[in-house]
A and B are shown apart, each in its own frame.
Chain A
Amino acid sequence: MSNFTIPVGPLHVALEEPMYFRLDVEGETVRHVDITAGHVHRGIEYLVTKRNVFQNIVLTERICSLCSNSHPQAYAMAIEQIAGLTVPPRAEYLRAIADEVKRVASHLFNVGILAHLVGFESLFMHVMEVREMMQDVKEGIFGNRMDIGANTIGGVRYDIDPERIGYLNEQLNKVEPAIAEIIEMYRTNGSILGRTRGVGVLSNAQAIDCGCVGPVARASGINYDVRVKAPYTAYDRLDVQVHTLPDGDVWSRAMVRLAEARTAVDLIRQCLRALPEGPTTATTERPPIPVGEAIGKCEAPRGELIYYVRMTDSPRPERVKWRVPSFMNWDALGFMLKDAKISDVAIIVNSIDPCISCTER
């Protein structure tokens, strides 16, 4: 068999974002992978220190479109710790709703792309159609399809009235059976199973070694979810079901995501039922932010997202550092791609749901 070096990326039809893999292949089998990142560095960590605490809510939201709710949320959580603000209960529930709405859309997007990579275009179109219902929810409730601008320091920037609750419930009632149907399809369809079962396997031990987070870790049997292990906003009052699967292949990761999407629908319903009355922000004025440092973390659709913020006596943070889930899952690709087939490279890379704009801010 002849040996080639194949470049995958930085621009490649199968990759949504720029990343570069240099594959040394033998016939159809990948023997060695070099992964290079750093194509879309935008200097956001620097920019954050040039803007004040409140402007940064807007800036952190623009780090990534798919986790655009998790970034400002973790950032706001860190600032609230420094300022000693208590988020009112209604705002906590509203934050959880925003989080879960984004989670459904993000997971369906990834699972849809999997179908596209497998060449199953009809399934891709169908999943995206279901996701579109969640996009409508975002547009209807928050006024925007991707950057929903839900968070602010000390609470949320939106509120929902009975009319919107009715609309949300109506959409959830449509989305839930559609997700159940998609789960059944991914569980039984021969094309999907043939291309994803036993592909890109990440064993439990490897996942622990790489420090994997999110659906990637849970598909390898690691029962870790920030919403349960370190509950934030309203998650300590919600019944969060954590889904794990033992096999660690591409299929397991897709199934974990789909199960989480269904759970997210359930969580939104729990929130709507328990939604207390009251204010949506801790203070009506902009609160003063004292000197100090803090860490906030939340479960983004891709896994644990950690924000570290240090404030000095300036209105601008001295340092903001975030550790994104894709960064932790990135290394696991080395294990997954080892001895993979060329046909499976794109499928495996997509299965960690890599978010390059988060990782290379």
Chain B
Amino acid sequence: MLEMLTTPIAALLFPGGLFALAFGLALKGLDRRLAARLQGRVGPPLAQPLFDLVKLARKRTMVPDIAAEPVFLGAPLIGAVSMLLCAALVPIPGVYTPDTMLGDLLVLLYLLTLPAVVLMIAGSASGSPFGAIGFSREMALMLAYEGPLVLVVVAVAMRTGLGQGDLISFSLSEIIAYQQTHGAFLFDPVMWPALLAFLAFYPANLGIVPFDIPEAETEVLEGPLLEYSGPALGLFKVMSALKAVVVLGLGVALFYPLAPDGALGLLVHLAKLTGMMLIGITVVRLSCGRMRIDQAFSFFLKWPLALSLLSLAIVALA
């Protein structure tokens, strides 16, 4: 029955919209709490990201005199809406399959670049020099990680397509169905290089240490977000909470979509996302420092790119 959900509900309530937002905020809260515990602190309450959001919503958005106001205020809105759509595009194995009318993996890939683009626009529209530096750093970082991501997705799509006698399949439901019958790509040695490349991609996409370079607090004072306040800043927080759910959900769909049907499947899905968040994000960001943009750029052009190319080659030959 859940399969029958209409698109608006999918985008606004479940699995996108409110549900994804609540879960994204909970993930952020967990992340902060675990980070605090690992550093010997007590840490904020789990609902702290929600409290922050409520606080921001009640404040006023200040627009700098030199900012381009429509762009400055429009950017966070576009970012949050694009992520709402994205959340409706990511399947929850055994529970929710997005309507094929809405789009496939390629649409998701396009939408996934929007937050970075929006941050770049926001940074340059704010008129602050730190925003401008954030802009150039965001762009460099995006150029660095988008390539490997596309190659990873193509590798997964080819593996599925070739397995089905096709060449390539960009349908997420087919990718999931293929893995449910042939075993998850997580346990498929052919896909391991792609998996590693994806593990490097998602911290960069979510903007955490060591790849939080565009928003580095001690270097560029949060870069593009520097001039934002009130509900506009809140929208960016919404965007980043949703993005966490989308990117992690994409990872689950690409590499480990095995789950039972129904409510249990939903729980398993949430558990997987939480695991990816805590291990792939919290522990990573606590165990290293920030890279310089040139270091991050050459890192992505070296390892994840090579790994994803390698993976593509193996998939094509296997």
| A residues whose Cβ falls under 8 Å from a Cβ of B | 2, 4-7, 12-14, 25, 27-28, 115-123, 125-126, 129, 189-192, 194-195, 341-346
Q: Are A4 and B289 in contact (CB under 8 A)?
A: no
The answer to whether the Cβ of B287 comes within 8 Å of any Cβ in the partner chain is yes
Cβ 8 A contact of B292, one of A25, A125, A343: A343
Q: Are B218 and A119 in contact (CB under 8 A)?
A: yes
Cβ 8 A contact of A28, one of B38, B136, B221, B287: B136
Min CB distance A50 to B, Å, is: 40
Min CB distance A28 to B, Å, is: 6
* B52: chain A residues within 8 A (beta carbon): none
* B31: chain A residues within 8 A (beta carbon): none
Cβ 8 A contact of B289, one of A13, A27, A195, A346: A195
Instruction: Give me 18 other A-B pairs in contact (C-beta within 8 A), A116-B218, A122-B286 excluded.
Output: A4-B133, A27-B136, A28-B293, A118-B290, A119-B216, A119-B218, A119-B290, A120-B209, A121-B39, A121-B286, A123-B289, A129-B40, A191-B289, A191-B291, A194-B295, A195-B290, A343-B216, A343-B290
The answer to whether the Cβ of B3 comes within 8 Å of any Cβ in the partner chain is no
* A344: chain B residues within 8 A (beta carbon): 292
Cβ 8 A contact of A342, one of B35, B38, B210, B219: B219
The 7 closest A-B pairs by CB, nearest first: A119-B290, A191-B289, A120-B289, A118-B289, A14-B218, A125-B39, A191-B288
Question: A6-B129, A27-B136, A119-B209 are known contacts. Are A13 and B290 too (CB-CB below 8 A)?
Answer: no
Q: Are B221 and A12 in contact (CB under 8 A)?
A: yes
* B290: chain A residues within 8 A (beta carbon): 118-120, 191, 195, 343
Min CB distance B137 to A, Å, is: 8
| Docked pose: A147 CA to B145 CA in angstroms | 50
The answer to whether the Cβ of B315 comes within 8 Å of any Cβ in the partner chain is no
A contact patch SS: helix
| Docked pose: A6 CA to B293 CA in angstroms | 18
Q: Are B293 and A343 in contact (CB under 8 A)?
A: yes
The answer to whether the Cβ of B142 comes within 8 Å of any Cβ in the partner chain is no
* B209: chain A residues within 8 A (beta carbon): 119-121
* B41: chain A residues within 8 A (beta carbon): 125
The answer to whether the Cβ of B300 comes within 8 Å of any Cβ in the partner chain is no
The answer to whether the Cβ of B47 comes within 8 Å of any Cβ in the partner chain is no
* A117: chain B residues within 8 A (beta carbon): 218
Cβ 8 A contact of B288, one of A4, A129, A190: A190
Chain A residue nearest to B213 in the complex (CB): A343
* A5: chain B residues within 8 A (beta carbon): 129
Cβ 8 A contact of A122, one of B39, B129, B295: B39
| Docked pose: A111 CA to B116 CA in angstroms | 33
Q: Are B39 and A4 in contact (CB under 8 A)?
A: no
* A122: chain B residues within 8 A (beta carbon): 38-39, 286-287
Q: Are A13 and B292 in contact (CB under 8 A)?
A: no
The answer to whether the Cβ of B57 comes within 8 Å of any Cβ in the partner chain is no
| Docked pose: A188 CA to B284 CA in angstroms | 18
| Docked pose: A43 CA to B221 CA in angstroms | 32
Chain A CB within 10 A, most for which of B129, B132, B221: B129
| Docked pose: A125 CA to B41 CA in angstroms | 9
Chain A residue nearest to B218 in the complex (CB): A14
The answer to whether the Cβ of B220 comes within 8 Å of any Cβ in the partner chain is yes
Q: Are B39 and A192 in contact (CB under 8 A)?
A: no
Q: Could you name 13 residue pairs across A and B whose Cβ atoms are closer than 8 Å? A: A6-B130, A120-B288, A121-B39, A125-B39, A125-B41, A191-B210, A191-B290, A194-B295, A343-B290, A343-B293, A345-B219, A346-B218, A346-B219
* B213: chain A residues within 8 A (beta carbon): 343
In B111-165, the 8 Å CB interface with A consists of 129-130, 132-133, 136-137
Q: Are B129 and A119 in contact (CB under 8 A)?
A: no
Chain A CB within 10 A, most for which of B35, B132, B133, B213: B133
| Docked pose: A57 CA to B288 CA in angstroms | 44
Min CB distance B136 to A, Å, is: 7
Min CB distance B286 to A, Å, is: 5
| Docked pose: A4 CA to B133 CA in angstroms | 9
* A119: chain B residues within 8 A (beta carbon): 209-210, 212, 216, 218, 289-290
| Docked pose: A7 CA to B293 CA in angstroms | 20
* B129: chain A residues within 8 A (beta carbon): 4-7
Q: Are B133 and A28 in contact (CB under 8 A)?
A: yes
Min CB distance A13 to B, Å, is: 6
Chain A residue nearest to B212 in the complex (CB): A119
The answer to whether the Cβ of B69 comes within 8 Å of any Cβ in the partner chain is no
Min CB distance B229 to A, Å, is: 16
In B33-50, the 8 Å CB interface with A consists of 35, 38-41
Chain A residue nearest to B132 in the complex (CB): A4
Min CB distance A68 to B, Å, is: 26
Chain B residue nearest to A196 in the complex (CB): B289
Min CB distance B218 to A, Å, is: 4
| Docked pose: A42 CA to B210 CA in angstroms | 40
The answer to whether the Cβ of B217 comes within 8 Å of any Cβ in the partner chain is yes
| Docked pose: A274 CA to B79 CA in angstroms | 68
| Docked pose: A159 CA to B289 CA in angstroms | 43
